[in-house]
Structure 1
């Protein structure tokens, strides 16, 4: 993934700050370490942590790193992780208005430790998520190290891009009213929750196919880039996570889809480049 050196970045779309190591916070769940790990990964690409994470009230995201001063061009994005996030967010939000009439931009908030959101107080262990109530994507960069070291993903810059694209897929769903299709249907192999998550994977693939047209990248993504996305998608399949953490697979508890499904739907979006091909709510998935 290579940005054009002279591409201009819009750092106003990303906030950087937050607070680290706040005492008293934690996940309001039980079941020991294995259960907590399973919940964390089940929420990795979730859309609403409200009611799941809690604890003492964290400080709101502060000014944090001055992204405007250091993230100005594509060259900065190639050399700095936070600037790369800015560049990916810019590209995603340049793409979606071309296919969704009335698209409204959503900010990304980079944080560490804990952060206040309109969906509740979020712990860094929840992983990246989208909050519909404030229409923001929340991202702790340490998650990507966990994805690679603990769950066997290949890692790499495009694994990050895939995850960010997925979260903005949830934003698109929120704008289109698709979230309502998953209400009251949060678990199971054919559940609305699984269909919602697979569609967000597909939307991420559709952006990836069209990202070069946004003018921020030097060239279309390579097969190596796409492999990083597929590796990340496979690592967070419900079956893979359950097998790793519980030693068995329980389809009735699925919330995000199997590894094969996540790979399939990202690939569907990427190969077609058409978000209209991402209808996971009709027929078999």
Structure 2
């Protein structure tokens, strides 16, 4: 999807690499494709997935002398052209759009924070590296993104790419924030693994919430400019989003990594399930249609 000329990017709730919270406890929700495998291993070992793969205390990106380097310069993110050409600005602008949609759907909606990082970051849910992929931490109500993940989504995991593939990722993590506000996020830890477990149901609901955002994205106007955030979706846009959803299915990742599929260890859902629930949200535009916790059939394929 392309951002409309005339919109302005609001970076007021965004910070860039190096800042994260302290070493508090919590579970980071919605790790990216690299994180799926790491999180499964961590769950079996009984440790916090957020502490896997990063020495304690590490934040941000460091040069060869061990000196912390500056984060992304958010002053680059001002216009629609910036959002359409710079991945970091696309993340921020997409977050602006998602916020606007959910503010209309939820009267008590409050915006999450966004942190752009490179390499590693410290959060209220513990330290994490880029291998975990994008994630949401309820401890500081922040969605974390290393935009290097977008290239991995295409080159390593087979997504077709495209703007809506990237924007789907952002909307999914904001979906976890919606769950947090609704008091549903903790249900991920109830029977956290398995094809019908709380982890899968939580992730599929976030996919559905991403679809709800897509339903309204082209008709929701930015309050400050009166311009719709995004141009109307095309068939290719939807195909890109579905390709991204499929590429991060547990079954596809397990098959690629180990040559076998083990549903008992799933935490995010199958490719078919993730596509189904994004489509459900997109076609209905109704958050109530995203009740994966009551669904008898998660359409795992």
Give the TM-score normalised by structure 1: 0.86
Within 1, Cα distance between the matches of 2:293 and 2:192?
14
Check whether the contact 2:193–2:264 (CA below 8 A) recurs between aligned residues.
Answer: yes
- Given candidates 71, 79, 104, the residue that maps to 1:64 is 71
Q: What is the aligned length?
A: 264
Q: Structure 1 residue 116: deviation in Å?
A: 0.6
Check whether the contact 1:109–1:136 (CA below 8 A) recurs between aligned residues.
Answer: yes
Q: Structure 1 residue 13: deviation in Å?
A: 2.5
| Structure 2 CA distance for partners of 1:49 and 1:108, relative to 1, 3 Å | farther
Q: Which moved more, 1:213-222 or 1:203-212?
A: 213-222
Q: Which residue of 1 aligns with 2:170?
A: 164
Within 2, Cα distance between the matches of 1:241 and 1:167?
19
- Given candidates 231, 239, 244, the residue that maps to 2:243 is 231
Q: Which residue of 2 aligns with 1:142?
A: 148
**Following superposition of structure 1 onto structure 2, how do residues 103-122 of structure 1 map, counting pairs within 5 Å?**
103-122=109-128
1:13 matched to 2:26? The reply is no
- Given candidates 77, 84, 98, the residue that maps to 1:78 is 84
Q: Which residue of 2 aligns with 1:26?
A: none
Q: Which residue of 1 aligns with 2:106?
A: 100
- Runs of 5+ unmatched residues, structure 2: 20-33, 42-47, 62-68, 222-227
| Structure 2 CA distance for partners of 1:130 and 1:102, relative to 1, 3 Å | same
| Structure 2 CA distance for partners of 1:159 and 1:41, relative to 1, 3 Å | farther
Check whether the contact 1:6–1:75 (CA below 8 A) recurs between aligned residues.
Answer: no
Within 2, Cα distance between the matches of 1:74 and 1:106?
21
| Structure 2 CA distance for partners of 1:255 and 1:156, relative to 1, 3 Å | same
| Structure 2 CA distance for partners of 1:186 and 1:63, relative to 1, 3 Å | same
Q: Which residue of 2 aligns with 1:267?
A: 279
Q: Structure 1 residue 218: deviation in Å?
A: 4.7
- Given candidates 252, 259, 265, the residue that maps to 1:253 is 265
Q: Which moved more, 1:133-142 or 1:145-154?
A: 145-154
Within 1, Cα distance between the matches of 2:35 and 2:290?
29
